[in-house]
Amino acid sequence: MTATATPARQVDPAEDAHARELAFLAAFDPGRRPPGWRLTPRAVVTFVMGSGGDALPLPEGAAAADLPSRLAITPKFVGDRALVERAVVTLAGERGLLLVGEPGTAKSMLSELLAAAVSGSSQLTVQGTAGTTEDQLRYGWNYALLLAEGPSPRALVPSPVLQAMRTGAVVRVEEVTRCLPEVQDALVSILSDRRISVPELAGTPEATVHAAPGFTVIATANLRDRGVSEMSAALKRRFNFEAVGPIGDLAAETELVRRQATAALERVEAPFAVDDVVLEALVTAFRDLRNGVSEEGWAVERPSTVMSTAEAVAVATAIGLADAYFPGDRDPLSLLPGHLLGVVRKDDPADAARLLGYWDGAVRRRAEGGARAWRRLWELRDVLDA
């Protein structure tokens, strides 16, 4: 009998994509771990933030045939290390963690990395929408078995939250403020009582599921969704809030965009060929429009859409794909104005005028200062005025 090949994936979950690093860190740091944790809190932070380029050595006696003796841990989240440390301490205390921020600030990525490092799996996830039901936070039923046997443990379909409670794992609730208030309220009792009652199974040991040590919740919320389904004061009190902001450093953001765009192109077996000049101009434009001020301190009118790092990665990937599939057809820099226009018009078509104002201001001034890339971008102004 032949083995079945693993189907190709567009994106691997964090625990699979970084399985080697997680196994190495488990052996590298044998220190005290909170109940149910795969790694120590210090190792979790190292997994998320990287080892600073240093190759960490395995301690004597911890060597394994399938692990290297030394390994440099790659940085995966570009942000404040203190924020990550506070998040890890929150989870170690089995308290709910809420990551808030503008769209595209890597809140979901951070929650996935934390869940993978703490529990070994990031896939116990509830995606919050207006259609999310309380069953998706508690439990449902296999109706064929329910009709055939009546309420039974076999007929019960556990939610990701219930599975996490049984195993002492971290469960992720994405976009919690998009859930209706009555659905959010189900989290209040879960985070307070740390148990879920199943009245239909009364009189059996399965009538109440108690959270195993290690269980907790990481939720995310976009600041742009404030007011969609505002969290109650009771639910807010059960979370520690951490605000995830945009990347503060141009070089760090540029490197992140390069790394993620390169990974996206590798998935389609295309080489990443966007040069540093184009990449820096792209990220600089995104930062200027996001911040409302240029790197030089000139005022810039901000568009209503969020000029996030995630959008910058998408544009860099598109430019790389154009070069891969249509080599030599166009100068990659000439593609940038059209892609920027597509991004700023997402929320309000009138934002095209704000982008044109940016061209007439910051882009023109840089061109007059002699910067070659910006001179070329200034020559492309008509793309925005078409």
Task: Express each pLDDT in 316-348 by its tens digit.
Answer: 999 999 988 998 778 899 999 999 999 999 888
pLDDT band at 271 (very low <50, low <70, confident <90, very high): confident
* pLDDT tops 50 at residue 147: yes
pLDDT band at 3 (very low <50, low <70, confident <90, very high): low
pLDDT band at 220 (very low <50, low <70, confident <90, very high): very high
Q: Give mean pLDDT, residues 158-163.
A: 96
What's the pLDDT score for residue 349?
Answer: 87
Average pLDDT over the chain, rounded to whole? 92
Residues linked to residue 141 through DSSP beta bridges, in sequence order: 156
SS3 per residue for the chain: CCCCCCCCCCCCCHHHHCHHHHHHHHHHCCCCCCCCCCCCHHHHHHHHHCCCCCEEECCCCCCCCCCCCEEECCCCCCCCHHHHHHHHHHHHCCCEEEEEECCCCCHHHHHHHHHHHHHCCCCCEEECCCCCCHHHCCEEECHHHHHHHCCCCCCEEECHHHHHHHHCCEEEEECHHHCCHHHHHHHHHHHHHCEEECHHHCCCHHHEEECCCCCEEEEEEEHHHCCCCCCCHHHHCCEEEEECCCCCCHHHHHHHHHHHHHHHHHHCCCCCCCCHHHHHHHHHHHHHHHHCECCCCCECCCCCCCCCHHHHHHHHHHHHHHHHHCCCCCCHHHHHHHHHHHHHCCCCCCHHHHHHHHHHHHHHHHHHCCCHHHHHHHHCHHHCCC
* pLDDT tops 70 at residue 386: no
pLDDT band at 35 (very low <50, low <70, confident <90, very high): very high
Q: Could you tell me the pTM of the whole model?
A: 0.90
Residue 384 identity (one-letter amino acid): L
44: left (phi over 0), alpha (psi -120 to 50) or beta: alpha
What's the pLDDT score for residue 141?
Answer: 94
What's the pLDDT score for residue 352?
Answer: 93
* pLDDT tops 70 at residue 6: no
Q: Give mean pLDDT, residues 136-140.
A: 94
Q: Which residues contact 8 (CB under 8 A, 6 or more apart)?
A: none
Q: Give mean pLDDT, residues 127-156.
A: 93
User: From residue 114, how far is each of 53, 75, 84, 241 by CA, in Å?
Assistant: 20, 13, 9, 15
pLDDT band at 1 (very low <50, low <70, confident <90, very high): very low
Token pair for residue 160?
């990701």
Q: For the chain, what percent of residues have pLDDT higher than 70? A: 96
pLDDT band at 355 (very low <50, low <70, confident <90, very high): very high
* pLDDT tops 70 at residue 219: yes
What's the pLDDT score for residue 385?
Answer: 81
What's the pLDDT score for residue 278?
Answer: 94
* pLDDT tops 50 at residue 30: yes
What's the pLDDT score for residue 229?
Answer: 78
What's the pLDDT score for residue 277?
Answer: 93
Q: Which residues contact 242 (CB under 8 A, 6 or more apart)?
A: 83, 86, 87, 90, 97, 98, 99, 100
What residue has token string 């990974």? 263
